[in-house]
Amino acid sequence: MSPKKKEISLLIEKARDKNEKAFNTLLNTYWSDVYNFQFSKTSNEDEAQDITIKTFAKAFDKIRLYDDNYNFKTWLITISKNILIDHYRKNKTETISIHKKESGAYKISDDTPSAEDVLINEQNLNRLLNYIKQLKPHHQEIINLRYFRELSYKEIAEELNQPIGNIKVKLLRAKKILATVISSRKSTR
């Protein structure tokens, strides 16, 4: 086994034991490989970054299932490819066709949200903000910077004066904690 392979195997073992430094090192080692794969498929920086983060989140959640007989990078790319396929399935938009009626008029779909839709969206946003307020301040801050102020990872790193790898890991953790808060609140309803 080459020294690099031994080092990666050791990092994987530590990551399996929930060692955060090992997670960070693996993320920093393989981030560009996964991101470049996603960017080559999506041609969209934000989409590629979001799917890359989801890839690492899923990989670290399932790291106990990783088989050491395979290359870790290949395993990550496979996870990433599956997330991309799921992403496209969820976001698949229906093509709006325009049908000519006998009278010569055309049927055109109106996508303007109704007053009810606007109210539902506002209520959902308020509920989400209440969930976010239950997080620790540093998790609230990173979620606010990424999703409400729509800053890039680089801009967040500059604003918080931290390495971009730390920002990615912190955002990953904040999203997982927020998901846990939301699912625990929904189950108590």
Q: Which domains does the chain have, with CATH numbers?
A: 3-90 (1.10.1740.10), 115-187 (1.10.10.10)
What pLDDT score does 99 carry? 46
Give the model confidence (pLDDT) of 18-67 as tens digits. Answer: 888 888 889 889 999 999 999 999 898 888 888 998 898 888 888 888 88
Q: pTM for the whole thing?
A: 0.56
Q: Given its phi and psi angles, is residue 113 left (phi above 0), alpha (psi -120 to 50 degrees) or beta?
A: beta
Give the side-chain half-sphere CA count within 13 A for 119. Answer: 3
